[in-house]
Amino acid sequence: MEDKMFTGFGTGNFSETEAGGTKKETIEYLYKISSDKFKNNVVKMGIPEENSIGVSTKDIRKLAKKIGVSQSLSNELWATGYHEAKLLSVLIADISMINFAYIDRLMKDVASWDLCDHICKNLIVKMPNYEHLIFEWCDDSRTYYKRAAYCLIATTVVHNKNLATETIDKYLYLIKSYADEDRPHVKKAISWALREIGKKDFCCQEKAIILAHEFCESSSRNLAWIGKDALRELETLVSVKERSRLITSNSKMGKQD
């Protein structure tokens, strides 16, 4: 049931002085729609219990749409330290007010893969000239900076329909050069980036499969894991007329083709 103090959210943007617009009211509402189930899920990701409220990402997205853009509230929510408040903070941030120094401050606070991906997908890829971060972070010693580099590759390949072959080849080179990684959240992001490259078209699929097989034949356990994980999807890709990108033949749409 919707909280009365959020009844003004239907209009989109609002000032912090309006109903439901304060940090205190927002946190209270998050607690109201929280559950032990989702709190346990957050804690399992490694977020301290005291920093978890227990709200699903789906509900956080719904709330963000009601709030609209509010950079001042975004800043206040991030500063609370609550995981869910940080996710919401990213979703309501004003991209026109964000620079790379701001992104770096956020990244230093990241302690989970989902928050890392939220920042990449909802903020970084909307910034002009963000691509340099891929090359800066691809071999970063910090877990979520390095994951971010490959999350950005995956997101860029999906959304940039006019990505040059030269750029794709550079991404494949980065994957080949820095994929020997034992941290699970980084390994999974590298596999993800490789799979998304392979879905671009049949030429990219072939390049991705060749690299994945090269990883499988490596003496490195980490590379072998990434190669096998990527191949499970790469080798099933097909073209369907409803999609511009390749999809797995194991999907409902792929089976119908």
Say whether pLDDT at 18 is over 70.
no
d(CA 227, CA 246): 19
Where is pLDDT greater, at 143 or 4? Answer: 143
Indicate the domain borders of the chain.
1-110, 131-257
pLDDT at 64: 96
Distance linking the first and last C-alpha atoms of the chain:
42
Contact 54, 34 (CB under 8 A): yes
pLDDT band, very low/low/confident/very high, at 1 (cuts 50, 70, 90): very low
CATH of 131-257, one of 3.30.1340, 3.40.50, 1.10.10, 1.25.40: 1.25.40
Q: For 217-255, how does the pLDDT look when each residue is reduced to its tens digit (9 = 90+)?
A: 999 999 999 999 999 999 999 999 889 999 999 887 777
% of the chain at pLDDT higher than 90: 87
Work out the pLDDT band at 9, boundaries 50, 70, 90. very low
Determine the pLDDT at residue 10: 34
Does residue 253 contact residue 240 with C-beta atoms inside 8 Å?
Answer: yes
Q: Mean pLDDT in the chain?
A: 91
> Shortest CA distance to 186 belongs to which of 229, 142, 221?
142
Stretch 59-66: mean pLDDT, rounded?
96
What is the separation of C-alpha 60 from the centre of its chain, rounded to a whole number of angstroms? 15
Given a cut of 80, whether residue 114 has pLDDT beyond it is: yes
